[in-house]
Amino acid sequence: METIGADLREMIRTPLAPAHVEALRAAGTIVDYPAGTMVAKVGDPFDRFTYVLDGEVEVVNPFTDERHLPSTLGATQFMGEIAFLNGGSWSLAMRTVRDTRVIEVPREAMLTLMSQIPEMSDIIITVFSARRRRQLDDRDSSLVLIGEEQDRNLREIAAFASRNRIPYQSLRLGSPEAAATASACTIDAGKPALIFGRDTVVEDPTPDKVARLLGLNRDLQNDESFQLLIVGGGPAGVAAGVYAGAEGLCALVIEDVAIGGQAGTSSRVENYMGFPTGISGADLVWRGEVQAMKFGTRFAMPRRVTSLDKLDGGDFCTTFDNGQRVRAPAVVVATGVQYRRLPIPRLAEFEGAGVYYAATEVEARYCRGTEAIVIGGGNSAGQAAMYLSRSARAVRLLVRGSSLAASMSSYLSSRLEADPAITIDYGAEVCALHGGETLQGVTLRDVAGGATRDVPTRAVFIMVGAAPNTGWLSGLVALDSKGFVLTGAAAGAASPYATSQPGIFAVGDVRAGSVKRVASAVGEGSVVISKVWDFVNSSQ
């Protein structure tokens, strides 16, 4: 892939060492490509690692067949994207500029080499990560959304891609860029569309279809066996994936929406140790995901687990919403919590069309020129209000109680109260939503007196309540009265994260009595693996 900016500088400073290249030679095959050969096409699986010995390789614009980036790859550099780690698909095409000789190493053999030679692994992952960051910053990808602002399905795709750090382009319907792209794909320029490269136009787009295009679930087989299933891809689940892989466990992390969970929607986490200026929740967990993939942990998403069964042989079997099943002797429950759906008339009608449960850059775009309303009194609501104030005309935070002291960190509430763009309405709630196909306004009600007033808005963010995601556990473990998973002594178990069912562990926000903070979730996900390891090895 491209070598512009930090990527090129990184390769100049730290190319692969001669010993690394010799290891590639021993594990791979030397291949000669004539000039003009497409060595990677959009959507091709990442089934090999390609190191350039001699020649030149360029990134190709799939819609024009012209050179896409000013820089090219030459001798001592290598092709690839971060999706190589999980067996995904190419998002940009590659073509030889002149006769080129390369070393090609099959993906599985390359992953083994990377685990054996950490210095080489560090260089490759650094470059792959830099490439992904450039794609995200430049919105450079063959995944193109035309008319996102007018189509609810495309808005869902945009949110899915953004939260999962998947690069994509969003073109406004009727713009010259959208018209040119539509023409290259021979489709109607006047209708919203989802395109992957020039040859793939997706009908009735869904996150699952996009995940399939990108190869996010390519390697997963029905009834496949693992040593550990981690259900939930938030901070706790990803941390468990990192440590499971590091300890040599064959683990699968299953996530139904986006890696990062609820924490991934946080625009800025300021109280996580080691990041004094803060870091977005999505970026923090994405780093963990890359780290877990480096150790061999696999990810499947979007995949919702609908049920969990214990088989006669002792294994646990999870069934996904598409009917697919996977199994393992141990399960870590890290499904976290979800915001409550408030009992407001027409709520479902406006979800995704003015009512949102996350405040990322995608949702922030819909707030320009309007007063955004955030419902909630916790840290997530406060962070959302601060973030949205950069793009919205104004932000109104609705809090049912009379104070933020009991539910929000002091540093955050102080900032909210000092920000002139943010208004805090205590003792207030939304009682009605108004609009046609999209939200146009709300009615606010004073909780104590009952007085109402109408406020025009195109964006309402609901961040209240904490309902645990435990319905899929099928009664296999004991829950408390609110549906949180009991662990440790409360569940009659010896270890603090073990549940009432041997082999099933729970960490993070879904666990009864947990501290609802990112740092504690990461800690629990890290620590639990020692007990999982003991259980898996004792059951073999």
**231-246 pLDDT, tens per residue?**
999 999 999 999 999 9
Phi first, then psi: give them for residue 174, nearest 5 degrees: 95, -10
Is residue 363 domain-shared with residue 478, that is, in the same domain?
no
> ∠ CA 242-248-252 to the nearest 5 degrees?
55
pLDDT exceeds 60 at position 340 = yes
| Host domain of residue 177 | 143-207
Q: What confidence tier does 219 reach under pLDDT thresholds 50, 70, 90?
A: low
CB–CB of 331/316 below 8 Å?
A: yes
Is residue 331 domain-shared with residue 360, that is, in the same domain?
no
Is residue 409 domain-shared with residue 474, that is, in the same domain?
no
Which residue blocks in 42-151 are alpha helix, DSSP H? 107-116, 118-138
Is residue 129 domain-shared with residue 148, that is, in the same domain?
no
Give pLDDT tens digits for 171-212.
999 999 999 999 999 999 899 999 999 889 999 999 999 999
Give pLDDT tens digits for 283-337.
899 999 999 999 999 999 999 999 999 999 899 999 999 899 999 999 999 999 8
Is residue 129 domain-shared with residue 171, that is, in the same domain?
no
Q: How many CB atoms are located within 10 Å of the residue 355 CB?
A: 25
pLDDT mean across residues, the chain: 91
Of 210, 193, 201, the C-alpha closest to 159 is 210
Q: How far is CA 127 from the centre of its chain?
A: 20
Is residue 132 domain-shared with residue 149, that is, in the same domain?
no
pLDDT exceeds 50 at position 8 = no
Could you tell me if residue 219 is inside a domain? no
Of 289, 161, 302, 143, the C-alpha closest to 220 is 302
Distances (CA, A) of 373 to 149, 346, 356, 397, 422: 20, 17, 10, 6, 10
Q: How far is CA 516 from the centre of its chain?
A: 20
What pLDDT was estimated at residue 12?
A: 40
pLDDT exceeds 50 at position 6 = no
Give pLDDT tens digits for 391-431.
999 999 999 988 888 888 898 999 999 999 999 999 999 99
pLDDT exceeds 80 at position 482 = yes
Is residue 75 domain-shared with residue 189, that is, in the same domain?
no
Higher pLDDT, 141 or 516: 141
Report the range of poorest mean pLDDT among 259-268, 350-359, 424-433, 475-484.
259-268
Q: Is 323 exposed, middle or buried (0-12, 13-18, 19+ CB in 10 A)?
A: exposed
What pLDDT was estimated at residue 521?
A: 94
Higher pLDDT, 14 or 473: 473
Higher pLDDT, 380 or 117: 117
Give pLDDT tens digits for 458-477.
999 999 877 899 999 999 99
Is residue 117 domain-shared with residue 14, that is, in the same domain?
yes
pLDDT exceeds 80 at position 103 = yes
CB–CB of 141/135 below 8 Å?
A: yes
Could you tell me if residue 492 is inside a domain? yes
Q: What is the distance between the alpha carbons of residues 89 and 106, in angstroms, rounded to a whole number?
A: 15
Is residue 102 domain-shared with residue 124, that is, in the same domain?
yes
pLDDT exceeds 80 at position 69 = yes
Q: How far is CA 461 from the centre of its chain?
A: 20
pLDDT exceeds 60 at position 13 = no
Q: How many CB atoms are located within 10 Å of the residue 494 CB?
A: 9
Q: How far is CA 149 from the centre of its chain?
A: 21
pLDDT exceeds 70 at position 7 = no
> ∠ CA 442-434-457 to the nearest 5 degrees?
50
Last residue of a domain, one of 207, 236, 252: 207
Average pLDDT over residues 481-502: 96
**Preceding omega of 302 cis (within 30 degrees of 0):** yes
Could you tell me if residue 250 is inside a domain? yes
Overall number of domains in the chain: 4
Q: What confidence tier does 11 reach under pLDDT thresholds 50, 70, 90?
A: very low
Could you tell me if residue 420 is inside a domain? yes
pLDDT exceeds 70 at position 2 = no
Q: What is the distance between the alpha carbons of residues 340 and 474, in angstroms, rounded to a whole number?
A: 21
With a CB cutoff of 8 Å and minimum separation 6, the contacts of 24 are: 16, 49, 51, 103, 105, 113
Q: What is the distance between the alpha carbons of residues 225 and 237, in angstroms, rounded to a whole number?
A: 19
Q: What is the distance between the alpha carbons of residues 87 and 98, in angstroms, rounded to a whole number?
A: 28
* 374 DSSP β-pair partners: 397, 461
Q: What percent of the chain has pLDDT over 70?
A: 97
Last residue of a domain, one of 207, 240, 257: 207
* CATH number of the domain enclosing 268: 3.50.50.60
Residue labelled with tokens 């955030």: 374
What pLDDT was estimated at residue 365?
A: 87
> ∠ CA 286-291-294 to the nearest 5 degrees?
130
Is residue 294 domain-shared with residue 230, that is, in the same domain?
yes
Question: Around 261, how many Cα atoms within 13 Å sit in the side-chain half-sphere?
Answer: 31
What pLDDT was estimated at residue 361?
A: 84
What pLDDT was estimated at residue 3?
A: 38
Is residue 275 domain-shared with residue 289, that is, in the same domain?
yes
Tokens of 102: 């390369």
Q: How many CB atoms are located within 10 Å of the residue 474 CB?
A: 15
Sign of dihedral through CA atoms 188, 191, 197, 200?
negative
Is residue 368 domain-shared with residue 384, that is, in the same domain?
yes
Could you tell me if residue 215 is inside a domain? no
Q: Is the pTM of this model over 0.85?
A: yes
Q: Is 270 exposed, middle or buried (0-12, 13-18, 19+ CB in 10 A)?
A: middle
Of 538, 506, 498, the C-alpha closest to 525 is 506
Could you tell me if residue 213 is inside a domain? no
Could you tell me if residue 218 is inside a domain? no
Please state the length of the chain: 540
Could you tell me if residue 212 is inside a domain? no
Of 53, 97, 96, 98, the C-alpha closest to 78 is 53
